[in-house]
Amino acid sequence: MTKVCYIIGQLSRHGAEKQLYELVRGINKEDFLPVVISLSQIAPWAEDIRKTGVEVIVIPRRKNKEIGRLYKLRKLLKALNPDIVHTYLIPGNFYGRVAALLTGVSVVMPSAYCLERSNDIPFRK
């Protein structure tokens, strides 16, 4: 069985979080063992995800940037020993990728989401 850790900044009721819920709800649990890690206590989706039989681990956030979260996540990944780390959004991508690198996870998949169309963003004209 392939263990996959999904790391996301928070589990609020928005688009990326709903996509993660739909992904773990529908994943083949005979082949994959998903674990969701939220880097914030803001987690309205947590109970819905738990109802699908998927473990949700919350690492509480005290402020936006803190080295303690990275340390806790690295320690958690070392204990979980996942085959794959799949990260979501900016905090999940940053903390998750660094922690996976520090623990030697061989497969790291970041998810990128588009910004809304804006004339203020030069690369989006």
**Quick one: pLDDT at residue 123?**
45
**Quick one: pLDDT at residue 114?**
53
Q: Which fold is adopted by the domain 2-124?
A: Rossmann fold (3.40.50)
Question: Domain-by-domain residue ranges, the chain?
Answer: 2-124
**Quick one: pLDDT at residue 111?**
85
Smallest Cα–Cα separation from 34: which of 101, 98, 90, 84? Answer: 84
**Quick one: pLDDT at residue 125?**
41
Question: What whole-number distance in Å separates Cα of residue 101 and Cα of residue 29?
Answer: 26
Residue 80 CB contacts under 8 Å (≥ 6 apart), including other chains: 3, 5, 35
**Quick one: pLDDT at residue 120?**
53
**Quick one: pLDDT at residue 116?**
54
pLDDT, averaged in runs of 10, over the chain (125 residues) = 96 91 96 97 92 96 82 97 96 95 95 59 45
